[in-house]
Structure 1
Amino acid sequence: MFKKIRIRHKLLFGYSLVLILSISMGSAFIYFFVRNQLTVSLENELNNTTRSIQNLVRTSVSVSIKNHLRAVAEKNIDIIRHYYDLQQKGNLSESQAKETVTPLLLAQKIGDSGYIYCLDSAGNVTLHPRQELLSANVADFAFVRTQMARKKGYVEYDWKNPGESDARPKALYMLYFEPWDWIVSVSSYRSEFMSLVNVEDFEKSVLEMRFGETGYSFVIDGNGKAIIHPKIQGVNILESDDLPNQYLVQMQHEKSGKISYPWKNPDESKARYKLVMFDHIPEFDWIVGACSYLDEFYAPLRTIRSMILATAVLTFLLLLPISFKISSSITRPLKNLIHHFNLMMTGDFSSRMVPASEDEMGQLALYYNRFADRIEAYRNDLEKQMDQRRQVEEALKESEARYRSVMEAAPDPIVVYDMQGLVTYFNPAFTKIFGWPLESCLGHKMDHFVPEENWEETHRMIATMIAGETLSSVPTRRYNKSGRIVDVSISGATFRNRRGELEGSVIILRDVTLSQQLQQQVMDIGDQVRRRIGQDLHDDLCPHLIGIHGLNTVLAENLRECASPDVPLAQKVVDLMESATEKARTLSRGLCPVHLVAHGLNAALEDVARQTEAVFATDCRFKGDDQVVVADNTVATHLYYIAQEAIQNAVKHAEADRIEIHLLREDGRIHLKVVDNGKGLPKEMKSGGIGLQIMQYRAKIIQATFRIDSNSETGTAIDVFLKTAPFVSEGL
C-alpha cells in the first residue's frame, strides 16, 4: 500500500508524522515536567504545613503542661514554707514538720498516675510514694543529674515503670526549698494532660493555613472527630453516613504519608480529587493534615495544553504548501530520468539528460550520463570476461579431476576433514587399510578409530595444525574396522578458503606396522649384542683383570719385602688394575643388567640409582612398590633403558642435582616416572633428540604411553604408563 503512494503524499505524510511526533514528545515532556514540578511544590508546601501544625500543637501542649505543673509545684512550696514557719516559731520540730508535710504531698494526684517526690542536692530520695526508694541515691539517672544541677525549672524525659515494656514521655516541674535541701518535683506523663489542651489557642492559626482557593488544614482525633476543620468541625467522620470514611481509616492505619482521593464538602455539588499530606501526633492520637484540590493546582496545565494544540494546527497548515512545492521539484526530474532508463532498456545507450539545476537533481542527471557511458563500456567487457570465465572453469574442472586421480591412486590413506572434524572425503587406500567405506563416514566424525590412550597426543596434533603448523611423520596408532591396532605415521596440514579462513585439514596416515616390526627386530638384535658384550666383559675380561690384579698385589708385596724403591710404582699399578676391574664391572652391568634378570626391575632400578650417586655425585633415589613385578624380561629391559636414558639426560643436559625414580601401580597401569630438579632439556633436544626418540620408540614397542614435561622452573618429568596385562603380575 505504501509503495503505491506518490512522493508528494509521502513527503506530506513524513513531515506530518515528524511534526506530530516532535510536538507530542516536546509537549509530553513540558506537560509532565511542569506537572511534576507543581506536584513536588505542592507536596513540599503541604508537608511543611503539616509539620507546622504538629509543632504548633506540641508547643501549645507543652506550655499548658508546664504551667499546670508549675502551679502545683508553687502551691506545694507554699505548704512546705507554712510548716517551716511553724518550725521556726518553735511550734513544731523539723522532723514533725516534715512528717506533717509528707502525707499532704503524697496525697496529691497529678493526672492519672503522676505524683510528687523530693530529692536532696546529692540525689538522695527524701520523699516518694514508693517507700522502698526512700533514702536511695538515684543520681545515676540523667534527668536526676539535671535536677541536681538546675534545682528549678521544667524537664522532659522518657521513663519506664516496672512491669511496662516501653518508656513513655514524661515531664516534671521542680522548685528548690533550701532550708530543708528539698528539690520538690511534680511529675506526670504527658499523655495524661489532654484535658489541659485548649484547641482555641491554635485553631485560628491552623484554619488560616490555606492552599489555592479552597485548600485547607485540619486536625482529626483518634475517634474520627474533626477537632479543627473549616467545613465539618465537630463532626465524627467515622460515624457519618454522608461522608466517605475509608480514607480516614487508611490515614489512621498508615499514620504518616500522602493520599489522594475524591471529597465533597457539605456545601459543594460534586466531589473533587484532592491531595492530602498527613502525620500523626502519638501523644494525643491526632491526625494532622493539609490538603489542596488538584483541579485548582493543575489549572496552568490546561492553558499549556491549549497553546500546544493551537501551535500544532497552525504548523500543519503552513506545512501543506511547502511539502507540495518540494515534492514537485523532485518528481519532475525523476520522471525524466525514468524516460531515459526506458530508452536504455531498449538498447539505446546514446540518450543523455540535460541538467536543469545545480542541486542534487542536477547532479543526478550528470551521474546518469556517466552511468550510461560506463554501461556501454561494461557491456563490451562483459562478453570478453564471460569467455575467459568459461576457459577458467574448464581448467579448474581438469585440475580437480587430476588431483582427485592422484588421491585415488595414492597408496597411503588420505582423509579430508572440515573444521568441525567431520569427514568430507577419504581415498580408497583408507578403506583398504582401515575397512570403513566412504559412504558410511561422510559427514561424521572418526573418533571411534582413535584408541583412548592416543587421544592426548591427537589433541596436541590438532592444536598444532590449527596454529598454522604442519605435521610431519608423527607416529601413533589407530583402530581398523575389526578392532585391530594399526601403527601409523601421520602427516597433515590445514587449508584455507579464498577469504583466508580455515576451512579444513588434510591428513595422511601411513601404515608403518611392517617398518615398526623391522625396527623392533633391529633393536632386539642390538639388545642381544649388547647383552652378549656385557656377558663377555663380565665373564671373560673381569676375571682376567682380577687375576692380573692378584699377581700385581703379590709382586708389590715381594718388592716391599726386598725394600725395593719400585714399591710405590707397583702399588700404583695395583690401584689402576682395581679401578679398571670396577669400570669393567660397571660397563658390563650397563650393557647387561644382571640385577634385572636375577632380581627383577625394582632391584635393577635401585642399582642404577646407586651407580648414579657414586659416579656423578648426584642425589638419586629409587622409590618403588615391591608388589609390582614385571614378568616379561623384554618389557622390563625396555623400562630399564628408558629410566637409564632419562637419568643420563637429567645429569648431562638438565644439570640436575636431585633425581627420583618411581615405579608404582595406578588405575590398573604401571607408572614409571623419572623426575629431576634441573633446568629443563634444551629446545632442540625436546623436539628431535635421538635419546628421546629412542625412549618413545621403546615405549611404543611395549605398547606403553610416553609423556615428557620439561621447563626451566620445575625441571623435567618423564612418565611411562604401561597396561598391567599381559606383561605385569602382582607380587605375592
Structure 2
Amino acid sequence: MPESTSDDPFRLVVESAPNGIIVADRSGRIVMVNQSAEKMFGYDRSEFLELSIEDLVPENIRGKHAGHRETFHKSPEPRQMGAGRDLRAKRKDGSEFPVEIGLTPLQSGNDTKILSSIVDITERKQNEEQLRQYAAELEAGNLELRRQSDLLRNVHDAVILVNGDGIVCEWNAGATRVFEMDTAEAIGKSLQEICPHPHQHPFFDRFVPALEKQASIEAVIACDLRSGTKLFLRTHVSKMDTSEGVGYVICASDITELKRLEHEILNVSENEQRRIGQDLHDDLCSQLSGIACITKMLEDSLKPDRKTEAELIARVTEMLADAVQKARQIAKGLVPAALETHGFSGALQELAAHFREVFGVNCVAEIKTENALDGIEQNAAVQLFRIAQEACTNSAKHSDADLIKISAGVEDGWVTLCVSDDGKGMPEDFSSTGMGLLTMRRRAEIIGAEFEIDAFPGEGATVRCRLFVPDS
C-alpha cells in the first residue's frame, strides 16, 4: 500500500484523523503515515518510510515486538484501543511516552497490512494519577476543600461528583467543555437533564447496579446533548462515601471523533470485504468452473483407452467442484447481500441456513416484528448482522453445540438480537478480551448499542445486543 493520492477516500480519512495513523506491512516496514503521526513522533514523512515499526518501540522491548507482530499477522483481527495493555512508544529524540494503540488489519488479496491508530495518553495518565491521589485522600478523610476544587478545575476530562440520586454536586471545567453547560447551571441538576436519554439512564440502569458488586466500572455510552449534538463518552465511575451519604465520581472522556474515525475505517473495511467477495464469486468461481468443465471433457475422452488417467482427472474435477463450493461460501460470508435483497430479518434467516449447510449444526432463526427489523438504518443493520455472524461462528467452532438459536425483534423502541447455544459454555472467570468478543463489543459500541454475554460451564452461552431505535 504505497502513499495514496490526495483524492483517495482512504487517504483522506487517514489524513484527517486526529490520532496518529501508521500502516506497516508484514515485515514491519512503514508504508503510510499521517500528519498527526509526524507531529507525535518528530519524524517527517520521508524519514518514516525508511523505518520499521520496531524503530518506534523502546529498546528494552524491541526484541519481543517482532515476535508479537508476527503472531498478530497469523490471526489478524481488529484490536480496540486500551485492550488491557500498558504501551510505550519512542520519539525521534529518544524520549518515551505512553500510548494507546488500536490495530486494524487491511486485507487486499493475499497481502495483509496493519493500520495502527495511536493516541498519546500522557495527559490522561497524569490525570489518572491525580484522580488516584484524590480518591486515596477522600478515603482517608483528609482532603481539603481547596485541594478538591483545584484538582477538579485542572483535570482536562469531565469530572463530576453526583449523589445517590444522580444529582450533580461538583462540576469541573472539563465537564463544562464536554457537556456545554457551566458550573452554576449544572449544580443541582440530574444526569438525565444534563445528558438526556429517551429511556432509562445508563447511570441507574447499568452503573449503580454494577457498583454494588465491584469498586468501579468503565464503559462507553452515547449521549444526546440538549443542543442536539450526539456524543460518545468513555466513562469511568466509582462509588465513594461522603459526609452526606453515598456518592459517585464520574470521569468522562469525549471520544466522539475517535468513534467517527472508527466508523469511517469500518466502512472502508466493509467495502473492501464486499469487493473481495464479489471478485471471488464473479471471477475465481467462474474460472474454476470453466477449468472443471475442461477436465470433465478430458476425463470423458480418456475413459475408453486410458482408464487410470481418466480416474485421476475425475478426482481433479471433484476437487475443483469442492473448491468452487468453498469459494462461494467464503464470498457469501464476505458480502451480506441478503441485507440489501431481503432486509435484516431475511439476512438472519439466510445466516442460519448457511450455518446448517456449512457446519452441519442445527441453527434456527426466530424473527419477530419483521417489518420493524427491516426498517433499521443500514449501518446499524450491518453491524448487528456481523455481531450475529461472529457469535454463530464462535458457537459452531468452539462450543460443541447441537443447537444455535438466532432471535431478533423490536419492542418499545428496543431492537434486541440474541444468539444462544446449548454447548459447553464458558468458565465462570472467562475473559471477555478475546479478539472475537472484543470485535463484537466494538461493533456494538460504534452504533451505541448495549452488549453482554451470559455464559456458565455446561450451560451454553448467550450473546445479547440491544439498540434503542425510537422510530422502530
Q: Tell me if both proteins adopt one fold, taking TM over 0.5 as the criterion.
A: yes
Q: Equivalents in 2 of 1:669, 1:464: separation in Å?
A: 22
**Displacement of 1:660:** 1.4
Corresponding position of 1:204: none
In 2, Cα distance between the equivalents of 1:483 and 1:420? 25
Question: Residues 28-107 of structure 1 correspond to what in structure 2 (within 5 A)?
Answer: none
- TM-score, normalised by the number of residues in structure 2: 0.62
Q: Displacement, 1:433? A: 1.9
Secondary structure (helix, strand or coil) at the match of 1:531 reads: helix
Deviations 1:593-648 (A, max 9, x none): 23333333333222221221222221101222454424644333222211101111
2:456 pairs with one of 708, 711, 731? 711
Aligned to 2:280: 537
Q: What corresponds to 1:104 in structure 2?
A: none
| Alpha-carbon contact 2:428-2:456 (below 8 Å) kept | no
SS for the counterpart of 1:576 is helix
Secondary structure of the corresponding residue to residue 161 of structure 2 = strand
Secondary structure of 1:411's aligned partner: coil
1:719 counterpart SS class: strand
Distance 2:313 2:273 in 1: 35
The residue number in structure 1 matching 2:216 is 470
Determine the structure 1 residue equivalent to 2:98: none
The residue number in structure 1 matching 2:400 is 655
- CA distance change for structure 1 residues 607 and 420 in 2, over 3 Å: closer, same or farther? closer
Distance (whole Å) between structure 1 residues aligned to residue 293 and residue 172 of structure 2: 73
Residue from 298, 312, 330 that aligns with 1:587? 330
Is the 8 Å Cα contact of residues 653 and 681 (structure 1) preserved in structure 2?
no
Residues of 1 paired with 2:396 and 2:185: CA distance?
53
Match of 1:491 among 219, 236, 241: 236
Secondary structure class of the residue paired with 2:156: coil
Structure 2 match to 1:645: 390
Q: 1:667 to 1:419 in 2, by over 3 A?
A: closer
Retained in 2: the 8 A contact 1:642–1:695? Answer: yes
Paired with 1:703 and 1:468, the residues of 2 have a C-alpha distance of 24
What's the offset of the Cα at 1:491? 1.2
Counting only pairs closer than 5 Å after superposition, residues 294-333 of structure 1 correspond to structure 2 as: none
Give the % identical residues: 28
SS in 2 for 1:546: helix
Stretch moving more, 693-702 or 522-531:
693-702
Deviations 1:8-66 (A, max 9, x none): xxxxxxxxxxxxxxxxxxxxxxxxxxxxxxxxxxxxxxxxxxxxxxxxxxxxxxxxxxx
Letter in 1 for 2:307: S
Cα shift at 1:507: 1.3
CA drift at 1:686? 5.4
- State how far apart, in whole Å, the 1-side matches of 2:196 and 2:430 are: 28
5+ unaligned residues in a row in structure 2: which ranges? Answer: 1-140
Return the match for 2:201 from 455, 466, 474: 455
CA shift in 2, pair 1:557/1:685, >3 Å: farther
Q: Is the 8 A contact 2:240 2:249 kept in 1?
A: yes
1:616 corresponds, among 342, 353, 359, to 359
**Mapping of 1:323-722 within 5 angstroms?**
401-402=146-147, 404-419=149-164, 421-448=166-193, 449=195, 451-453=197-199, 455=201, 458-472=204-218, 474-496=219-241, 504-625=247-368, 626-628=370-372, 629-630=374-375, 632-682=377-427, 687-712=432-457, 714-722=459-467
Judged with a 3 Å threshold, the aligned counterparts in structure 2 of structure 1 residues 718 and 467 are, in CA distance, closer, same or farther, namely: closer
Q: Name the SS of the counterpart of 1:706 in structure 2.
A: strand
Amino acid aligned to 1:461: F
Contact 1:453/1:705 (8 A) holds in 2:
no
Alignment check: 8 A CA contact 2:426 2:458 kept:
no
Question: In structure 1, the residue corresponding to 2:405 is in which secondary structure?
Answer: strand
- Counterpart-to-counterpart distance in 2, 1:712 and 1:486: 38
8 Å contact 2:419–2:463 — kept in the other structure? Answer: yes
> Aligned partners of 2:142 and 2:428: how far apart in 1?
46
TM-superposed CA distance for 1:716, in Å, is 2.5
Unaligned runs of 5+ in 1: 1-395
Deviation at 1:566, TM superposition (A): 1.9
Taking a change above 3 Å as real, the CA distance of residues 618 and 453 of structure 1, as seen in their structure-2 partners, is: farther
Shift in CA distance, 505/624, structure 1 to aligned 2, threshold 3 Å? closer
More helix by percentage: 1
Does structure 2 conserve the Cα–Cα contact (< 8 Å) formed by 1:436 and 1:481? no
Instruction: Give the aligned length.
Output: 329
- The residue type paired with residue 386 of structure 2 is Y
The answer to whether the Cα contact below 8 Å between 1:454 and 1:476 also exists between their aligned partners in 2 is no
What CA distance in whole angstroms lies between the structure 2 residues aligned with 1:680 and 1:456? 28
User: RMSD of the TM alignment (CA)?
Assistant: 3.1
Trace 1:95-244 onto structure 2 (pairs within 5 A).
Answer: none
Kept in 2, the 8 Å contact 1:534–1:591? The answer is yes
> Aligned partners of 2:466 and 2:344: how far apart in 1?
15
- The letter for the 2-side match of 1:596 is L
Post-superposition offset of 1:399: 7.0
